[in-house]
C-alpha cells in the first residue's frame, strides 16, 4: 500500500520529509565545529563529509533501486538549507553532489549501470561551463580535451558531469551537451582561491584526450525540454524539470546562511551591550528589535519562495507533466530573489551585530563572506533572472538565457 503523501497547505505541494530534516539538524553542532577547519584547509574536513554520508544526506536524489532515498524536491532543498545553517560550504556541496547524481539518473540505462552498478553510492560532481575547442566527434562518441572551472564537490566525486560544446548554430550560438566522465579519466587543478565558500573546493577539472562514448552524452537542449534518455520512470524524480531544479538548488544554501546568521545573532548579540547607548543588553534596543524582525521576515520570504518553487517541481513531476514556460521562468526569477533576500537578511544582521561581527574569530564574518559569494553564481544572478521572467510574461519568443 502506497504511503500517504503529506501536503503543505501553504504552497500546495508535497511537504518535506521530517526525518531527513531532523538528520540535517542533528549535524549542525558538528558542522559548526568543523566549519573554520574546513575553510582553513580549503576543503570540507573528512569528519563532516563522513557524517553527511552516514546520515544519508548525500543520497537524497539517488533512486531507490540503487539504494538511495529519492526524496521529493522540497525535502532536498530544505536539507540543503539546514546543512547550510550549520556550514554554508557543506550545504552548497550537499546541493551540488546530489543534483549531479540526479543528472546521471536521467541518462541511458547503460550509463546508469556503469555508474551505479559497481558502486550504488557513487557520487557525482559537475560543471556546465563548456570549453570551446578540444572536442571532436569520432566513431562511437567524442574525443575530449579541456578544462571545466568551479566544479564543486570534486574531491569526493567518483564521476563528473561535464558540459561539452559539440557544434555551433548558424547564428554562432553553441550546441551543448552534458557528459558523464569517471574521475579516474580526469584530473583536478587547484584553482579555487576565493573570499567565500572557500571549503567547497570548487576547483577546475582537466581532461586530456579522453574518450566519452555516445551513451554517456545527452544534448542540453533535450535535457532542457525534459526529453530524457532514461527508460526507468517509476519514480517521480525522473520527471522533474532539469534546468529549473539545476538552478534552484543553488539558492538553498543562501537560506541556510541567513538562518545561521539569525541563530548567532540571538545567541551572541542579544545579551551584549549596545556601545554608546543606555542599552546594557541589545535585546532591549528598539533598533535591534526592528532589525532582527526585518531580517527574519526577509529570510521567511526567501524560504516561502523556495517552498513554492519546490511545489511547482514536485507537483508537475508527480503528474508526469512539463512545466509551462512562465512557471519555468518564474522559478529562475524566484531563485535570484531567494538568494538576494537571504543576502539582505545577512547584511542587516551584520550591521546590528556591529564591527565585532567582522572579527576573524567570529563565525558571522564567514557566513557573510559565504553569502556574498553564493549570491553571485551566474545561474543565480538576480538581474538576468528578472529579464528572463519579464520576457516570458510578455510572450516574447527569444530570451536572454540559453536554457531555463
Mean pLDDT of 377-390: 86
- pLDDT per residue as tens digits for the range 26-50: 999 999 999 999 999 999 999 999 9
Q: Could you tell me the pTM of the whole model?
A: 0.95
- pLDDT per residue as tens digits for the range 187-244: 999 999 999 999 999 999 999 999 999 999 999 999 999 999 999 988 999 999 999 9
Report the percent of the chain where pLDDT is more than 70. Answer: 98
pLDDT at 319: 94
Mean pLDDT of 117-128: 93
pLDDT at 1: 37
Residue 397 has pLDDT above 80, yes or no: no
- pLDDT per residue as tens digits for the range 129-165: 777 789 999 999 999 999 999 999 999 999 999 999 9
Read off the pLDDT band of 4 (50, 70, 90).
low
pLDDT at 2: 45
How far, in whole angstroms, is CA 225 from its chain's centroid? 20
What domains appear along the chain, each with residue ranges and CATH number? Answer: 7-119 (1.10.540.10), 124-224 (2.40.110.10), 238-393 (1.20.140.10)
Scored b (16 or more CB within 10 A) or e, 358-385 reads eeeeebbbbbbbbbbbbbebebbebebb
Q: Across the strands, what pairs with 180?
A: 161
pLDDT at 367: 98
How far, in whole angstroms, is CA 94 from its chain's centroid? 7
Amino acid at each position: 500500500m502506497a504511503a500517504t503523501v503529506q501536503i503543505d497547505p501553504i504552497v500546495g505541494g508535497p511537504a518535506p520529509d521530517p526525518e531527513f530534516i531532523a538528520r540535517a539538524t542533528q549535524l549542525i553542532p558538528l558542522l559548526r565545529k568543523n566549519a573554520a577547519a574546513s575553510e582553513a584547509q580549503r576543503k570540507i574536513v573528512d569528519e563532516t563529509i563522513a557524517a553527511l554520508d552516514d546520515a544519508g544526506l548525500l543520497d537524497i536524489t539517488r533512486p531507490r533501486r540503487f539504494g538511495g532515498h529519492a526524496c521529493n524536491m522540497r525535502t532536498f532543498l530544505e536539507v540543503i538549507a539546514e546543512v547550510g545553517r550549520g556550514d554554508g560550504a557543506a550545504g552548497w556541496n550537499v546541493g551540488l553532489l546530489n543534483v549531479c547524481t540526479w543528472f546521471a539518473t536521467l541518462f541511458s540505462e547503460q550509463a546508469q549501470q556503469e555508474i551505479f552498478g559497481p558502486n550504488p553510492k557513487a557520487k557525482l560532481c559537475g560543471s556546465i561551463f563548456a570549453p570551446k575547442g578540444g572536442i571532436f566527434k569520432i566513431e562511437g562518441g567524442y574525443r575530449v580535451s579541456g578544462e571545466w572551472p568551479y566544479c564543486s564537490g570534486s574531491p569526493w566525486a567518483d564521476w563528473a558531469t561535464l558540459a561539452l560544446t559539440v557544434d555551433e548554430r548558424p547564428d554562432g550560438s553553441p550546441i551543448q551537451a552534458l557528459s558523464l566522465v569517471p574521475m579516474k579519466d580526469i584530473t583536478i587543478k587547484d584553482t579555487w582561491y576565493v573570499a567565500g565558500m572557500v571549503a567547497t573546493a570548487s576547483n577546475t577539472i582537466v581532461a586530456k584526450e579522453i574518450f566519452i562514448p555516445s551513451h554517456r552524452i545527452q544534448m542540453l537542449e533535450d535535457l532542457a525540454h525534459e526529453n530524457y534518455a532514461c527508460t526507468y520512470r517509476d519514480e517521480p524524480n525522473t520527471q522533474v524539470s532539469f534546468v529549473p531544479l539545476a538552478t534552484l538548488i543553488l539558492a538553498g544554501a543562501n537560506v541556510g546562511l541567513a538562518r545561521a546568521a539569525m541563530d548567532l545573532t540571538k545567541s551572541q548579540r542579544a545579551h551584549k551591550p549596545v556601545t554608546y547607548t543606555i542599552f546594557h543588553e541589545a535585546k532591549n534596543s528598539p533598533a535591534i528589535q526592528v532589525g532582527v524582525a526585518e531580517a527574519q521576515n526577509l529570510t521567511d520570504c526567501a524560504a516561502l519562495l523556495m517552498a513554492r518553487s519546490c511545489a511547482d517541481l514536485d507537483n508537475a513531476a508527480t503528474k508526469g507533466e512539463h512545466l509551462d514556460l512562465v512557471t519555468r521562468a518564474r522559478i529562475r526569477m524566484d531563485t535570484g530573489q531567494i538568494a538576494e533576500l537571504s543576502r539582505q537578511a545577512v547584511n542587516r544582521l551584520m550591521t546590528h551585530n556591529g564591527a565585532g561581527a567582522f572579527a576573524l574569530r567570529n563565525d558571522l564574518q564567514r557566513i557573510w563572506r559565504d553569502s556574498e559569494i553564493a549570491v553571485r553564481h551566474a545561474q543565480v544572478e538576480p538581474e538576468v533572472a528578472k529579464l528572463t521572467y519579464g520576457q516570458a510574461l510578455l510572450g516574447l519568443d527569444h530570451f536572454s538565457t540559453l536554457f531555463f
